[in-house]
Structure 1
């Protein structure tokens, strides 16, 4: 399961790129790749799941970082941050036209970069709320000091932990479990807590693959393996099928 935020670095100075990679990994991010030119960056964007791009403006090839950002935007809507030594008005004006999430000049401060990444992901999720189903869910104080936010959009939930967002793909979720006013998200190897009722989470997710099968459980139908009148098997998990939820559960099947 890939739960980290995947970042692509576009930088033609090898030593700087390796230092940036080390800093990002120390903060818990996954650096999917380091490339030094626009066409190669575009190929990575097309073939891999990238959540954010860090772009130098002066890179190898016919495309500079700004032109690369334009090309990427045509292929995929994705947040990107310029990380460059250029701070002249002409460059900044060109960069503004591409709507970057941030523009940081070198030498950068790791703390400033960390904040820029956090804000880029948050702003992207908020902007996507106008186009897709996006909700904010308060995280539990025990997990998230300061009552910080969990963002859901498209096919993933982003959980802010230790100054970074952790991604949970909906396809990795096996089931949701209610415990008083908390709901736990269960994956194959981890459990995440939300300070919300199960019904509230289901309403906010509003995704047909999640179906309530018990007062305390909702399952991911895509993980369903077998079931009988009393229980449902999802991989290693055995979930009870409540009598009052059987009708709702069976509505998801076509009888031949």
Structure 2
């Protein structure tokens, strides 16, 4: 699938709270991969699903609490953790600090606060991830080409390894870079095209290309960049992707052909 929902695991011992939270997140467009109320069940769900965000209640059923459980889970795979708790004592806060938690929400919380915490968790994790292809927050600066007016609200695009995260309404949607077909400039906006969907972002084409680290994404025209792996055919004047013909600009032709080792 060109676009994927962000997968969230909820570990919460109050079933009504957990189900209500899951319903709200799924309504927003997130995918809840499971709900656990104890450490063993949480580990089973975590290891059998591709979890992007972990919502962890500090007080859960069993000998291990949510903090100890999070420590174990993060040894398998590092993801942002948002802790949920009714207790804000200094000892609990200090234990959470050592884990560099993405957020710490006290009960009772509402879906708006959780939504904001998830967005911040993704942003901060993309910025600090220490992986071979480090994630990064992509701030959108002003550019001389099709610059976004200062009065226009800037958008944030995130890259984390082989994915970018873009805003769709008020939630992030995960797009695999390899599934991008092409990007089209449209005045102060760009259209990010996949096989199944189009995303409209408020920034220039140059701004996005300067920040995304993905070599197959090549500019062929002032208004177009294409994923060379998605090209079905091309000639001296245009390329065809998904039955759409896109022009090759004179100033971009030589650089485009270099991707095919043409001499």
The interval holding the TM-score normalised by the smaller chain is 0.7 to 0.9
SS of the residue 1:100 aligns to = coil
- Deviation of 1:150 after TM superposition, in Å, equals 2.9
Once the two structures are superposed, the pairs formed by residues 47-62 of structure 1 within 5 Å of their partners are 47-62=48-63
Q: Quick one: structure 1 residues 59 and 123, their matched pair in 2 at CA, closer, same or farther if it must change by over 3 Å?
A: same
Note if 1:18 corresponds to 2:14.
no
How has the CA–CA distance of structure 1 residues 60 and 165 changed in structure 2, closer, same or farther, with 3 Å as cutoff?
A: same
The CA distance in 1 between the partners of 2:135 and 2:162, in whole Å, is: 10
Q: For residues 63 and 208 of structure 2, what CA distance do their matches in structure 1 show?
A: 48
Query: Unaligned regions of 5+ residues in structure 1, if any?
Result: none
TM-score normalised by structure 1 residue count? 0.82
1:203 aligns with 2:210: yes
The residue that corresponds to 1:176 in the other structure is 183
Query: Larger deviation: 156-165 or 182-191?
Result: 156-165
State the distance in 1 between where 2:205 and 2:187 align. 9
Q: Is the 8 A contact 2:80 2:121 kept in 1?
A: yes
**Aligned ranges for residues 187-202 of structure 1 at < 5 Å?**
187-202=194-209
Decide whether aligned partners of structure 1 residues 240 and 38 sit closer, same or farther in structure 2, where only a CA change above 3 A counts. farther
Q: Give the Cα–Cα distance (whole angstroms) in 2 for the partners of residues 114 and 193 of structure 1.
A: 21
Q: 80-89 or 49-58: which moved more?
A: 80-89
Across the two proteins, how many residue pairs are aligned to each other? 254
Pairwise CA distance, 1:35: 2.5
Q: Is the 8 A contact 2:168 2:199 kept in 1?
A: no
Tell me how far apart the structure 2 counterparts of residues 25 and 14 of structure 1 sit (CA, whole Å).
Answer: 16
Find the residue that maps to 2:240 and give its secondary structure.
strand
- Helix, strand or coil: the match of 1:32? strand
Farther off after superposition, 85-94 or 75-84 = 85-94
Q: Distance in 2 between matches of 1:200 and 1:109?
A: 35
Contiguous gaps of at least 5 residues in structure 2? none
Are the structure 2 counterparts of residues 197 and 103 from structure 1 closer, same or farther at C-alpha, using a change threshold of 3 Å? closer
